[in-house]
Amino acid sequence: MEELLKERWELAYKRIGEIAEETRGAAAWQDYFAAVARFLRLAAETGQNWKSFGPEEKKKRNFLLYEDILPENYGRSYGNPAWAAARLGDCGKYLSFLYSELRGMIVYAMEGRLWDMTVCCELFLETYSAFAAGEGRPAPEEIRKILYWYVSDYCEEMIRRRVQEQLDPACDFAEKIIMGADLQDLAYLYDFGEWVTDSERQVAQFLNGLAAEEIDRMARTYTEGYRMGFILAHKDLSKKKTVNIRYCLGFERVARAAVIQFREMGLQPVIYRAAAHAVNKRQHQRIGYYGHIPNMQFDYDHRGDAALFLDEDFVQRKLRATQMAYEKCRDWANVHGGPAVMEIFGETPFTPKSCPEALSLSESQQKLQVFCDNQTVQITNRYIKGEERSFTIIAWPVPEIGENFQEIFREVMKINTLDSREYQRIQQTIIQALDRGRRVHIQGKNGNRTDLTVAIHPLEDVQTQTAFENCVADVNIPVGEVFTSPQLAGTCGTLHVSQVYLNGLLYRDLELTFQDGMITSYRCANFSEEADNQNFIRENLLYHHETLPMGEFAIGTNTTAYVAARKYHIEDKLPILIAEKMGPHFAVGDTCYSWSEDIPVHNPDGREVIARDNEVSLLRRQDKSKAYMGCHTDITIPYDALGHIQVLTEDGPVTILENGRFALPGTERLNASFDENE
């Protein structure tokens, strides 16, 4: 089999070299195939000779491989569906998909993944043959079928590889670089095959200037949070043998320290790259490690590429392949502890542009996608049990955040290591007040139109039960929130934010209306056409669901982070991980306890958090497909847009916050950050 694969590869590689040089005419499709052939040859030759390159050649090759889709070149790139359609007509969107899929050649060549390289190149040759065979262009449907059967025929192998690299520490391409490279020589960054810019180099250089003790402390905050997540949830960490480390390039010194610390806990790292094959992607999101994103508009334009192949037959094939992949890796799945994530923030804010020429899911395909995602989550949870796994997540700034990058970085280090004991005490005071009522009213001000009543689960015994969890910076760093899963019945009103970034996308004037905890209407002001705004929210916030429940209500208490954000004018660049601690926030989708609702959770005071379910998640007892949405997106109202938060009790309202400041006795310390800034 190995010899046959090598023979297939050599034949494909040779033929592509011939196509790159062919000049049969001036037709646009000939230009397309010649350009893509040159790219494929460049990627393959770069991977084959990488070890012989010096630092400058590595930097040059990195640029050449990503040059075509960079923003300044995107207007004339075949990766741009609009340009491809203008040049190639009705076949343009399919050939743009093909080019997007073939760009995975960069990482396949760097990792020496011969099978992936071969099937990609054979797909290219088959598509080329359809054009070269006759005098006219083939019908668009003929090209679509070629691409469809490529995905369909090879999805089992693609999914098997993806599941394996998520669980098996033997898939150690990235770990070898992190643990073995000379991190003082920044040329190591190019060895991953990801796009590298001055940002990644500056981060790595900055971290190289920190003392080993500081690096260890940064990593310890993150790894200790992971360990405490198991302890506080009464989960047995000793059963676990692997941890998935997710991070962005430039932070290798911290990742190396984290690997060492996790190994001291008995955990081997699993570090996998963001998906390259379309069959393994989830819209424009990147899950796994990655470098600088070359062009977020490129990613966004290809978020709906599954429209090319998503039908009932494919969904069933993909689900069978996922089941088989986990079955083959069941031993590793059983001992996998979950992800430990280092996010970044500060990048230039991205506002997507609509591209009518891009592939997009039809209404029936959206329903299929929801079904497929739901079933995939259920399969995953059978092998990596929710009640036995945990996670942790932390975020660090990157140089694009501004000229005060190093100063901001140190401020974030302070925020990420705040005294959790003090916050625990203050937050307990807030929880005691919240537990007195059955409803909480949130009112906006200064143009914020929020007018929302949240229903709280009733307590049978306030001495032993609570509705809110006291979040003390274990799985969710930094410290600073109390949260609950609201009771849906009685949760009604309007949630409004003037501007917010969710999953990397900007929403302007976002407004959601709830009735009995479910979204009944939504709007934003991103686009001039209302239909575009509706589609944008449905696709990127509702994830093609017709509606979503309110899965979480929380009150953020991290005024230190809020003041720092205002001081450096970086409010619009903060990740939700920090932003959610800077005011009340509301999550749409699953609850915080999805897939582990039956595991008792206790606050530090010993009381059990009983609000782990809502009316939707309870459906799991009859039909899990109706209980879980597969998403959870937090939306925060900043303090300065907040009129009040009041607990409605039998004795009258109890005010938690008023005019953006904490008003409850015992919480005054939280206002100190405001006072120091004035």
Tens digits of residue pLDDT in 512-527: 999 999 999 999 999 9
429 and 372 housed in the same domain: no
Would the pLDDT of 73 be above 70?
yes
Same domain? For 471 and 584 the reply is yes
Looking at residue 72, its pLDDT comes to 97
648-674 tens-digit pLDDT: 999 999 999 999 999 999 999 999 988
Average pLDDT over residues 423-440: 96
Q: Do residues 488 and 365 both lie within one domain?
A: no
Report which DSSP code applies to 54: -
Q: How many degrees, rounded to 5, is the angle at CA 172 between CA 375 and CA 394?
A: 65
Neighbours of 14 (CB within 10 A): 9
Are 109 and 216 within one domain? Answer: no
Integer Cα distance of 194 and 665 in angstroms: 52
pLDDT at 23 over 60: no
Domain boundary among 114, 138, 162: 138
Res. 365 pLDDT band, cuts 50 70 90: very high
pLDDT score recorded for residue 376: 95
On the question of pLDDT at 25 being above 60, the answer is no
pLDDT at position 136 is 67
Mean predicted confidence (pLDDT) in 257-266: 98
CA atoms within 13 A on the CB side of 617: 27
466 close to 435: Cβ distance less than 8 angstroms: yes
Query: Residue 68, exposed/middle/buried by CB under 10 A (0-12, 13-18, 19+)?
Result: buried
In a domain, 82, yes or no: yes
Q: How many domains does the chain have?
A: 3
Indicate if 127 and 66 belong to the same structural domain: yes
* CA 174 – CA 586 distance, rounded (Å): 36
- Of 337, 193, 188, nearest in space to 252 by CA: 188
pLDDT at 20: 80
Structural domain contains residue 546: yes
Please state, in angstroms and as integers, the Cα–Cα distance from residue 166 to each residue in 245, 275, 287, 339, following that order.
Answer: 10, 11, 11, 10
Q: Which residue has the higher pLDDT, 551 or 352?
A: 551
End-of-domain residue from the set 363, 383, 403: 383
Are 194 and 88 within one domain? no
**How many Cβ atoms from other residues are within 10 Å of residue 227's Cβ?**
20
State yes or no: pLDDT of 194 exceeds 80.
Answer: yes
Listed range (129-133, 454-458, 554-558) with the worst mean pLDDT: 129-133
What's the confidence (pLDDT) of residue 599? Answer: 86
Same domain, 490 and 616: yes
User: What gap in Å lies between CA 205 and CA 186, rounded to an integer?
Assistant: 8
How does 408-442 read in b/e, with b if 16+ C-beta sit within 10 Å? bbebbbebbbbebeebbebbbbbbbbbbebbbbbb
Mean pLDDT of the chain: 94
Boundaries of domain holding 615:
418-677
Question: What's the pTM?
Answer: 0.91
Per the CB < 8 A criterion, the answer to whether 671 and 662 are in contact is: yes
DSSP secondary structure letter of residue 446: T
394 is a domain residue? no
- pLDDT per position as a tens digit, 287-304: 999 999 999 999 999 999
Pairwise pLDDT comparison (445 vs 417), residue with the higher score: 445
Question: How far, CA to CA in Å, does 179 sit from each of 242, 269, 608?
Answer: 16, 11, 42
Same domain? For 133 and 217 the reply is: no
Give the residue from 329, 357, 383 where a domain finishes.
Answer: 383
In a domain, 609, yes or no: yes
pLDDT tens sequence across 618-644: 999 998 889 999 899 999 999 999 999
Question: Under a CB-based contact definition with an 8 Å cutoff, are residues 20 and 37 in contact?
Answer: yes
For residues 373 and 437, membership in a common domain is answered with no
Is pLDDT of 24 > 70?
A: no
The per-residue DSSP string of 577-642 comes to HHHTTSSEEEEEES-TTTT-TTS--B-TTS-EE-----TTGGGGGT-GGGT--S-EEEEE--GGGE
Q: Does a structural domain hold residue 411?
A: no
Given a contact cutoff of 8 angstroms between Cβ atoms, the answer to whether 474 and 604 are in contact is no
What pLDDT, on a 0 to 100 scale, did the predictor assign at position 234? 86
Residue 419 has a pLDDT of: 83
Residues 133-157: tens digit of each pLDDT: 876 679 999 999 999 999 999 999 9
- What is the reported pLDDT for 297? 96
Number of neighbours of residue 26 by Cβ within 10 angstroms: 7
Q: Give the length of the chain.
A: 678
Give the β-pairing of 632-636 and 608-609.
unpaired
163, 330 Cβ separation under 8 angstroms: no
Same domain, residue pair 183 and 131: no
| Residue 556 maps to a domain | yes
Assess whether 356 and 458 both reside in one domain: no
Q: Where are the alpha helices (DSSP H) in 349-455?
A: 363-383, 405-416, 420-434
pLDDT cut 90: percent of the chain above it:
86
* Residue 573's pLDDT band (cuts 50, 70, 90): confident
- The CA distance from 375 to 128, in Å, is 36
State the DSSP string of 542-572.
STT-S--BEEEEEEE--HHHHHHHHHHT-GG
Burial 191-222 (b: 16+ CB within 10 A, else e): bbbbbbbebbbbbbebbeebeeebbbbbbebb
Of 350-354, 410-414, 507-511, the poorest mean pLDDT is in 350-354
Residues 111 and 188 in one domain: no
Least confident of 71-80, 498-507, 586-595, 634-643: 498-507
Instruction: Give a yes or no: residue 276 inside a domain.
Output: yes
Say if residue 26's pLDDT is above 80.
no
The answer to whether position 168 is within a domain reads no
Tens of pLDDT, residue by residue over 48-60, are 999 999 999 999 9
